[in-house]
Structure 1
Amino acid sequence: MAFTAKEVQVLRQATGAGMMDCKKALEEANGDFEAAKKWLREKGLSASAKRDDRDNAQGLVSILIKGNIGAMVKLKCETDFVASSDGFKA
């Protein structure tokens, strides 16, 4: 089955895997995008699969309340250097 470069690019952006790995995943999944993502995870080729063994012990919790609506966000990272940076807190 043939795929366009755009389809491969979309899968690559979603997973962080290489172009050829994404093409192979789409071939293995017969064009099914979700099955291709699963195939990449199982093969350990997606960007998130490469980080699965790392501990995200640092981070922050932020709460915003406006009127009768509230939101709470928990954002985690691997190091305290990142957690204390201005960009992470913004």
Structure 2
Amino acid sequence: LKPSERDPSASILIAELWQQAGLPDGVFNVVHGDKVAVDAILDSPDVAAVSFVGSTPIARYIHERGTATGKCVQALGGAKNHAII
């Protein structure tokens, strides 16, 4: 999970809850970073799918770059999502 740099607190809490529940290390990860981290995720052959919620221009970018590398991409533009529902 790569959260917004503005407020990663919900993602960190989710990771802590998974850890407390006994999920093995490495199954769920929180990746902090900027566009460089996003591009690494989009270009990685180890990542099969990406889901994004945020601005329309970034959603388009995520969709175009992700699908170009064969990923399943769900990109919702024009939205804000500070937590996973």
Query: Larger % of strand: which?
Result: 1
**Shorter-normalised TM-score: what interval?**
under 0.3
The two structures have a TM-score, normalised by structure 2, of 0.22
Query: Larger % of helix: which?
Result: 1
